[in-house]
Amino acid sequence: MNMKYTPKEITEEVNVTPTHPLVNLGYLAGTVVVSLVAIYAAMGVAVDLVVPRLSRSTEIKIGDSLLPVAQDQFGGNVLADDTRVDYLESLAQPLIREELSDLPITIHLMDTEIANAAIIAGGHVFVTTGLLEESRSENELVFILGHELGHLANRDSLKSLGRSLFLLLGSLALGIGTQNGQSSPLLNTTLDFQSLHYSREQETQADRYGMILTIEQYGHGGYALDFFERHSAHEPSFIPEYVLTHPLSENRIEALELFAAENNWSLTGDLVPLPEGIECPNFDCGNE
């Protein structure tokens, strides 16, 4: 075999095409644009494929980096030391089923008049003081918490992030998700919780989950839906979801009644009263 080294046989012309450089540039730009559009479209589809595969630890990191952003956008101060937080945690704890037992469930009591509740990835539950003021029984609160836990179990909050999920995963990888508990300006401008929302199907599944937990807790669904019956229509507020943003329409209440009937669950039973002073900080309404 001839091992003679003959590099000169490859001529410089190999890499030079006869086409005008600007035409090539046009093709290149076109290819880049088409690729970006394809990637953007693929990311939208990929969310539903990626979300179920995310590890719990990644979910928790995403939730922690979203927390300051969500609190900013939710409005109102966080009442961290209020003993009503302990009460809400004691309500939520028995509702945590096997599939969520590896997530820390943290209640954030937000001091705002608007009755609202929400959940974000990683088990951060938001409850407003307005919701506590407007609640008339523990049964109602248990259903609302159960509904939110349903969104968590179904990873709806992660799915609702859409393409922002990839931004978050990228920023986590680069370590720019959060800075000392402050929301990063990048996330704050990119993630608009007001524009996120759940589908009707996601709401239906969360409703059913909430109903199942309510039945497991009390053995009946009595009083659980009263909150929604009192608030059949309301002004919209920010974070998606939340009770008043998506009030249970008559259709949804009827669907739940049907769901209960199919399962032979009773929708009547005892009302469990709320603790005295639920509307006041630390249950302390003073002596007036």
Binding site for Zn ion (CB under 5 A): 203, 206, 241
DSSP string, the chain: ------GGGS-GGGG--SS-HHHHHHHHHHHHHHHHHHHHHHHHHHHHHHGGGS-HHHHHHHHHHHHHHHHHHH-SEE-TT-HHHHHHHHHHGGG--GGGTTS--EEEEEE-SS--EEEEGGGEEEEEHHHHHH---HHHHHHHHHHHHHHHHTTHHHHTTTTHHHHHHHHHHHT-SEETTEEPHHHHHH--GGG----HHHHHHHHHHHHHHHHHHHSS-TTTTHHHHH-SS----SSSSTTTTS---HHHHHHHHHHHHHTT--S-----PPPTTTTSGGG-----
Shortest distance (Å) from residue 151 CB to Zn ion: 6
Shortest distance (Å) from residue 147 CB to Zn ion: 6
**Nearest to Zn ion of 140, 241 (CB atom):** 241
Shortest distance (Å) from residue 276 CB to Zn ion: 29
Shortest distance (Å) from residue 116 CB to Zn ion: 11
**Nearest to Zn ion of 103, 206 (CB atom):** 206
**Nearest to Zn ion of 71, 160 (CB atom):** 160
**Nearest to Zn ion of 82, 241 (CB atom):** 241
**Nearest to Zn ion of 215, 239 (CB atom):** 239
Shortest distance (Å) from residue 41 CB to Zn ion: 27
